Amino acid sequence: MSETPLLDIMEALREVPSRVSMGSTGRITDMTKYHSIHGNSIIDIDSFWLDVTNSMITWRKAPTIGLKGSFGDVSNRPLSWFEDGTLNVTESCLDSNLKTRAEKTAILWEGDEPGETRRISYSELLELVCRAANALKSLGVEKGDRVIIYMGMVPEAAVAMLACARIGAVHSVVFGGFSAESLRDRVIDCDAKLVITQDEGMRGGKKIPLKEVCDEALDGDSSVKGVLVYRRTGGPVNWNPVRDVWWHDFVPLQPSECHPKECNAEDPLFILYTSGSTGKPKGLVHTCGGYITYTSYTHATVFDIREDDVYACVADVGWITGHSYIVYGPLANGATTLMFESIPTYPDAGRYWEVVARHGVTIFYTAPTAIRALAAAGDRFVSVHDRSTLRVLGTVGEPINPEAWNWYYDVVGEGRCNVVDTWWQTETGGICISPIAQATPTIGGSATLPLPGIVPQLNDSEGREITGEGEGLLCIKYPWPGQARTVWRDHSRFVSTYFGHFPGLYFTGDGCKRDKRGYLWITGRIDDVINVSGHRMGTAEFESVLVSHSAVSEAGVVGFPHPIKGSGVYAYVVTQPSEEWNQDLSEELNLLCRKRIGAHAKIDLFQHIPGLPKTRSGKVMRRILRKVAEGEMDSLGDISTLADPSVVGAIKDGAKKILYQSD
Ligand code: 7RM
């Protein structure tokens, strides 16, 4: 006779709210409610966010003050939110969930090999975090100290982040694909006391030598006093007995309880390095109270989170998406959050959908680049897996072309799921412009409308505001709780990068169109805009046209200096495996551009390439495309974060022929 597990009975008996409680502002379920909540959020910014935070977040001392400071005054005074409040964010993410969700799965881990899974309940996660937090304390880490986390996608990476937060230490996660040099730069910049890493990572059947890279990064003098090493693969590692400590030897011996350190709302929670258009990566600083408020609010709102959701964001914790929407936002909302160690094409291009079927995933969040790659692989990889549990599909990271959006909506979502195209940045901390699942009518390719608290403004390059229909530089008018407060130890860089363009406005670096109905269409970084004979054109527009052709799988378009037009248009094209590249195809593509964008939209030079130079997080390294197209092939800069650095050689070789011929 089979017994009903006690857990199931408890689940069945328990009265659970169907959705996360969101205070008096409530859920946004239709557009009338959206407009009224958005309107109110702007009329009284302080009351709106105080209400949100006091109903969603566990505070030690509840804040009574909302915003202090303004965009016009950031150089004198960093912005602050909730500055009279104190909290520890792990109480919202862990302790507060124990009352009704102790046995609920907090982290559902899907390892590199299909079916290699771990389930960690909220009570288990709290215990793991407390032991790890006590381990950090024993290793000498104190409130305010920086800890670098250089790991793959294992639950212990999230445990490490939360353990830092538990004791008020500041984590800085460095994506496991970064080189030793990049890791060293970050260790030095934030003056880290401790590094947490693992022996090796696993991705797509391949081992990633994390400990080895870490050893190289820490070679010589360093501020780092200790390295805590989680054992993932059991592969060989070099060991420095005075510095290195095995996680499995040390963490399990620690006490299972750790009192959460009371932090001020504005104490730093983490530093995350991000590349700008110039200089070294900037260490953006996010603070406790505002960040946890914003990530939990936006996660619940955009994805329409419900109690029994199985939520899967397949980003990496090394990027802001992993911080906000794998770890902090979902856990603060008591969700089951899936951590995915593998890649979308391992063992085949059906992996995501196989995971969806096996775990009953209801919300799935990924990047357009993955969607395009999977669409190119063919629908059969999708259709063989049951996707009936899916309800919301999200995208983030780059503009999504309508073709990819439609494929996601029609093929993956079978035309019945909400697709949310979420625009935001490392700097914004959380989603700023996005449809709200269940409420916002969508059009493929548009991130639609601002979330409550967000007021976008489009400016022309002279700083004049563009109202109504039009295209301009995307700025944001008022502060919101989740935004980065500063660049680590370089506040003036923060001020000049984001507030130096248009006084009193936050400048995003992105271009954006507003259509007749007020919907926003992000056109991409403004450094990707090409001005051809006075016509301003978005590279994303060209790319969207190119990839809509059945022979093309991916495309990257950049400007290059042109003696007559100012800039010419240079297109890098990746064809489908079965397609030949020839002159006819390039003419066909140009006809298509003419038809879809306009007569001025002509590509001057085409280059057929084997693949786009992409970082491991799937962002096209446009700098390489631009430099090569400009003929500056010997100054490409750091290419260590590319997923496949060998494509650079192929691109350079091909370009030499093209640029030579066009002379
Ligand atoms: C979350 C993240 C930020 C840049 C941003 C944009 C681009 C992100 C979208 C998008 C069009 C989107 N943080 N971007 N989301 N462009 N539509 N939905 O990606 O700091 O790594 O990148 O990414 O250019 O400025 S990030």
Q: How far is the CA of 399 from the centre of ligand 1 (A)?
A: 8
Which atom of ligand 1 is nearest to 400's Cα?
17
The answer to whether residue 637 scores a pLDDT higher than 50 is: yes
Are the C-beta atoms of 431 and 447 separated by less than 8 Å? no
pLDDT-based confidence at residue 14 (cuts at 50, 70, 90):
very low
Q: Which residue has the higher pLDDT, 615 or 563?
A: 615
Residue pair 85/291 in contact (Cβ under 8 Å)? The answer is no
State the pLDDT at residue 535.
Answer: 60
> Ligand 1 test: best mutation among 483, 522, 539, 544, most atoms within 8 Å of CB?
522
Residue with tokens 């196989």: 354
User: Stretch 224-243: mean pLDDT, rounded?
Assistant: 97
Q: Does residue 265 or residue 368 have the better pLDDT? A: 265
User: What ligand 1 atom has the least distance to the C-alpha of 617?
Assistant: 21
Give the model's confidence band at 308: pLDDT under 50 very low, under 70 low, under 90 confident, else very high: very high
pLDDT-derived band at 280, boundaries 50, 70, 90: low
Q: What is the pLDDT of residue 11?
A: 45
Give the H/E segment covering residue 81: strand 80-81
Tell me the three state secondary structure of residue 443: coil
The string of DSSP letters for 5-53 reads: PHHHHHHHHS---SB---GGG----SHHHHHHHHHHHHHTHHHHHHHHH
Sequence-separated contacts (24+) of 525-530 with Cβ below 8 Å: 525/277, 525/622, 526/473, 527/277, 527/622, 528/558, 528/622, 529/559, 530/557, 530/558, 530/559, 530/567, 530/569
Question: Alpha-carbon distance 559 to 568, whole Å?
Answer: 6
Hey, is 655 helix, strand or coil? helix
Categorise residue 227: left if φ over 0, alpha if ψ from -120 to 50, beta otherwise.
beta
Residue type, 532: V
Highest mean pLDDT range out of 13-17, 91-95, 617-621? 91-95
* pLDDT given at position 18: 56
Q: Are strands 336-340 and 105-110 parallel, antiparallel or unpaired?
A: parallel
| Atom number, ligand 1, closest to the C-alpha of residue 421 | 18
Q: Buried (b) or exposed (e) across 528-545, using 16+ Cβ within 10 A?
A: bbbebeeeebbbbbbbbb
By mean pLDDT, which of 76-80, 207-211, 379-383, 592-596 is the weakest? 592-596
- Model confidence band, residue 12 (pLDDT cutoffs 50, 70, 90): very low
For residue 662, with 0-12 CB atoms within 10 Å meaning exposed, 13-18 middle and 19 or more buried, which class applies?
exposed
Distance of CA 113 to the CA centre of its chain: 24
What is the average per-residue pLDDT within 43-50? 96
Residue located via tokens 């130079």:
613
Name which residue sits closest to atom 7 of ligand 1, judged by CA. Answer: 398
Q: What is the mean pLDDT of residues 50-54?
A: 97
Find the 367 Cα to ligand 1 centroid distance in Å: 10
pLDDT of residue 532: 64
Strands 456-459 and 470-476: antiparallel
Pocket test for ligand 1, best of 323, 372, 396 (most atoms within 8 A of CB): 396
Average of per-residue pLDDT across 168-176 = 95
User: Which atom of ligand 1 is the closest one to the Cα of 447?
Assistant: 18
Q: How far is the CA of 425 from the centre of ligand 1 (A)?
A: 5
- CA geometry: angle 251, 257, 263, nearest 5 deg: 100
Q: Which of 27, 16, 9 is nearest to 436 (CA)?
A: 27
Confidence of residue 544 (pLDDT cuts 50, 70, 90): confident
Q: Which two tokens stand for residue 354?
A: 């196989």
For the entire predicted model, the pTM comes to 0.83
63-73 confidence digits (pLDDT tens): 999 999 999 99
Q: Tell me, in angstroms, the distance from the centre of ligand 1 to residue 451's CA.
A: 16
Q: What is the DSSP letter of 347?
A: S
Residue with tokens 């994506």: 175
Which of residues 4 and 207 earns the better pLDDT score?
Answer: 207
Distance (Å) from CA 376 to ligand 1 centroid:
22
- Check pLDDT > 70 for residue 312: yes
Here the tokens at position 145 are 């100290």
Q: What is the distance between the alpha carbons of residues 540 and 558, in angstroms, rounded to a whole number? A: 9
Does the pLDDT at position 7 exceed 80?
no
Three-class SS state of 494 = helix
Dist. CA 446 → ligand 1 center (Å): 13
| Residue 464, pLDDT above cutoff 50 | yes
Cα gap 209→201, rounded to integer Å: 7
State the closest ligand 1 atom to the C-alpha of 508, by its place in the atom list counted from 1: 25
CA 93, 283, 512: angle at the middle one, nearest 5? 85
Number of helices followed by number of strands (H, E) in the chain: 22, 31
Specify the residue for token string 């937090």. 133
Name the H helices within 178-252: 180-190, 210-217, 247-250
Task: Round to whole Å and give the CA distance between 296 and 37.
Answer: 17
CA of 437 to the centre of ligand 1 (A): 19
At residue 342, the pLDDT reads 97
How far apart CA 12 and CA 23 sit, in angstroms, is 26
Four-residue CA torsion sign, 211, 191, 427, 88: positive
- Of 361 and 621, which is predicted with more confidence? 361
Position 425: which residue type? Q
By residue count, the chain amounts to 663
Q: Give the range among 35-39, 141-145, 638-642, 646-650 with minimum mean pLDDT.
A: 638-642
Which atom of ligand 1 lies at the shortest distance from residue 525's CA? 24
**pLDDT at residue 13, as a whole number:** 41
Residue whose Cα lies nearest atom 4 of ligand 1: it is 425
> How many percent of the chain have pLDDT more than 90?
75
In the sheet that holds 146-150, the strands lie side by side as 244-246, 226-230, 194-198, 146-150, 170-173, 268-274, 282-287, 486-487
Rg (CA), the chain: 24
Which residue's CA is the nearest one to ligand 1's atom 22?
425
Give the up-direction half-sphere exposure of residue 190: CA atoms within 13 A in the CB hemisphere: 33
| More confident site: 431 or 183 | 431
pLDDT at 524: 74
According to DSSP, residue 98 is labeled H
Q: Would you say residue 470 has pLDDT above 90?
A: yes
What is the number of the ligand 1 atom nearest to the C-alpha of 399? 11
Q: How is 102-153 classified by DSSP, letter by letter?
A: TTSEEEEEE-SSTT-EEEEEHHHHHHHHHHHHHHHHHTT--TT-EEEEE--S
Q: Ligand 1 mean position to 302 CA, how many Å?
A: 16
Angle at 415 between CA 413 and CA 417, to 5 degrees: 55
From atom 12 of ligand 1, which residue's Cα is the shortest distance away? 423
Could you tell me the sign of the dihedral formed by the alpha carbons of 233, 239, 242, 243, in that order?
Answer: negative
Counting ligand 1 atoms within 8 A of each CB, the residue from 272, 317, 422, 424 with the most, and so the one to mutate, is: 424
Taking the centre of ligand 1 as the mean of its atom positions, its distance from the CA of residue 125, in whole angstroms, is 31
Q: How far is the CA of 424 from the centre of ligand 1 (A)?
A: 5
Percent over 70 (pLDDT), the chain? 92
SS3 state of residue 239: coil
Average pLDDT over residues 570-581: 93
Residue 347 preceded by cis peptide, ω within 30? yes
Which has the minimum average pLDDT: 110-124, 279-293, 453-467?
279-293
Q: Which of 131-145, 306-320, 566-580 bottoms out in mean pLDDT, i.e. has the lowest?
A: 566-580
Among 86-90, 233-237, 535-539, 654-658, the range scoring the smallest mean pLDDT is 535-539
Instruction: Give the binding-site residues of ligand 1, using a 6 Å CB cut-off.
Output: 274, 319-321, 396-399, 421-426, 447, 508-510, 522, 524-525
What pLDDT was estimated at residue 167? 98
CB burial of 414-425 (b: ≥16 within 10 Å; e: otherwise) equals eeebbbbbbbbb
CB 481, CB 53: distance < 8 Å: yes
Least confident of 44-48, 599-603, 604-608: 599-603
Contact 310, 362 (CB under 8 A): yes
Distance from the alpha carbon of residue 498 to the mean position of ligand 1, in angstroms: 15
Residue of the CA atom closest to atom 13 of ligand 1: 425
Average pLDDT over residues 443-469: 96
CA of 540 to the centre of ligand 1 (A): 13
User: Which amino acid is it at 655?
Assistant: A
Q: How far is the CA of 365 from the centre of ligand 1 (A)?
A: 14
More confident residue, 526 or 471: 471
| pLDDT interval class at 533 (50, 70, 90) | low
pLDDT confidence bin for 8, thresholds 50/70/90 = very low
User: Among 13-27, 107-121, 357-371, 577-591, which stretch is predicted with the lowest mean pLDDT?
Assistant: 13-27
- What letter does residue 213 receive in the DSSP assignment? H
Phi, psi of 246 (to 5 degrees): -75, 135
Mutation pick for ligand 1 pocket among 286, 295, 423 (CB with most ligand atoms within 8 Å):
423
